[in-house]
Amino acid sequence: MNKNSINKGFRFWLAFYAGRFSVFLCRLFRLSGTSLPGAVALRICPQLLFYLASAYEKIIAVTGTNGKTTTTNLITYYLRQAGVPVIGNGEGANMITGVVTALIKDCNFFGAAQSRTVVLEVDEGSVGKILPAVKPDLIVVTNYFRDQLDRYSELDHIITLLRNTIDGLPETELLLNADDPLVVAVGRGRPAVRYYGVEVEKDCKEPEKNEIREGGFCPECGELLVYNYYHYGQLGDYRCTKCSFKRPEADFVALDVDDSDLLHFTLHVQNKNSSIDLHSQLRGFYNVYNILAASAAALIISIPEQSIEASLPDYSTATGRLEQFIYHGRLCTLALIKNPIGVNEVMKTILPQEGKKAFLIAINDLAGDGKDVSWLWDADFEKLNHPMISKVVCSGRRAAEMAVRLKYAGLATSKIVLEPGCRESLDVLGLQQVDQYYILASYTSLFNYAKLLRKMGKAVAKDADQGLPSLS
Ligand SMILES: [Zn+2]
């Protein structure tokens, strides 16, 4: 397609300038403005995304349940470090209105795109609207876990939606997580599929009690899958005993993973038989997948291995992906939580750290969080029933439900404080005489805490803003 030949017409320009004007108004009134301009523009021209996306040379989309934001931001970062003009919709404005807003902001006053490449985080429920319009060159799928049940009745529906969507995109290449049978099912029968995965020594890891597994059954024949090992959730080395479905061999393999503190592992590229040594400022085993997916995507679009190896150590986290602050003279770690698997992985990362701890858990139930908070009952909050945890402050619109959940988890009532207000709850946390503070917050409350902590405390890591669009 000769992309420049598209005749945009009057509706496009009306929508475009309405969107630009909304961006200006949002700035004027200090509104977040990551979705509203797109919503206004789409009302005028529903095909706007198709027109805007046609201006770019390369489009990469990232979808899945967990790790989308980190993976998207890291791909964007790699490209920028390699000198490629790139934009993305980082920070999670990942529905069609957020994508359109990001592209409108990338245009100059005359409607010409400033970047050449786009890296898009795409909400699992929005793939049917976004992907056909932007026709990505590469789609990266992270994993599928139970998430925000009010928007997606079940995982089957999301996976079918993505499969049907990519059926209409025969030229798009897929980069899939080999360790997740649900993700692998998306690519069945497609020619251009590449896989990434984490490989471990044979003796590893028995599933933990209470670990959640969604992918227990073979997507081909329905038989129960058998595992050689699990990493977490349903991620691991699996095979079906009845048919030929099994974990595909990965093209990009993480080896020798050290997740005891800051992550370090070797990325082996099978077809080139080469390896790169990856050191990251990120923590937590789940981030191995994000780094692996982003590095593999960057390699596929021809970013040199040396550039990836050299730039990763300077990449620090986006808001809430275990961002650290100093608050009342103590280290305070802020983490986003949005589903049981995420909570369990965050707790696995922070609980082994030494010293007395106090927690603040902030749960909202606005659209961005997911209105159904019943997932709190599936997360392993029993782990907070620990002698080194002296206090848990429950906050947010669903503070009371969180407190009840902790009672059922066996915490003494003397350890639970109910304080729905954002600033007030932070004040209570600051009174606790412990070694470290931890704040686990759902999406809409996360940015309020981050803002307050920046004001009252100070950020420890380098500022996360690498020129990515910000929510605040
Ligand atoms: Zn089978």
What pLDDT shows up at residue 459? 63
Domains of the chain: 321-459 (3.90.190.20)
Taking the mean position of all CA atoms in its chain, how far away is CA 25? 29
Q: Is 178 within 8 Å of 184 (Cβ atoms)? A: yes
State residue 213's pLDDT score.
Answer: 61
The whole-number mean pLDDT for each consecutive block of 10 residues of the chain, a chain of 472 residues, reads: 62 94 89 88 95 95 92 94 89 86 93 94 93 97 73 74 94 96 91 93 53 72 87 87 94 93 93 94 89 98 94 76 82 88 85 90 88 88 92 96 95 95 94 94 89 76 33 26
User: Which one-letter DSSP state was computed for residue 198?
Assistant: E
Record the pTM.
0.77
With 0-12 / 13-18 / 19 or more C-beta atoms within 10 angstroms meaning exposed / middle / buried, residue 402 is buried
Whole-angstrom Cα distance, residue 171 to residue 426? 50
pLDDT at 133: 96
Structural Rg of the chain based on CA atoms:
22
Distance 217 CA to ligand 1 centre (A): 8
Torsion angle of C-alpha atoms 467, 286, 265, 240, degrees rounded to 10: -130
Give the DSSP letter string of 117-160: EEEEE--GGGHHHHHHHH--SEEEE-------TTT-S-HHHHHH
Give CA–CA dist 137/407, Å, rounded. 49
Beta-carbon contacts of 247 under 8 Å, excluding residues fewer than 6 positions away, are 178, 179, 181, 184, 197, 236, 237, 238, 239
How many Å lie between the centroid of ligand 1 and the Cα of residue 173?
Answer: 25
Distance 113 CA to ligand 1 centre (A): 47
Cα 315 to middle of ligand 1, angstroms: 40
CA of 227 to the centre of ligand 1 (A): 13
Main-chain phi, psi angles of 169, to 5 degrees: -130, 65
Locate 376 and state its tokens.
């709190």
- C-alpha of residue 194 to centroid of ligand 1, in Å: 21
How many angstroms separate the alpha carbon of residue 222 from the centre of ligand 1?
Answer: 6
| Distance (Å) from CA 246 to ligand 1 centroid | 8
pLDDT the model gives residue 209 = 47
HSE at residue 174, side-chain half, CA atoms within 13 A, is: 28
Best CA proximity match to 139, nearest among 109, 105, 110, 177: 177
Residue 170, pLDDT score? 93
Say how many Å lie between the CA of residue 238 and the centre of ligand 1: 11
Residues serving a catalytic function are 372
pLDDT score of 2? 43
Centroid of ligand 1 to alpha carbon of 224 (angstroms): 8
Q: Are strands 58-63 and 138-141 parallel, antiparallel or unpaired?
A: parallel
Strand-pair partners of 361: 394, 440
CA–CA separation, 64 and 214 (whole Å): 14
What is the whole-number distance in angstroms between the Cα of residue 431 and the centre of ligand 1?
55
Q: How far is the CA of 244 from the centre of ligand 1 (A)?
A: 6
Neighbours of 354 (CB within 10 A): 8
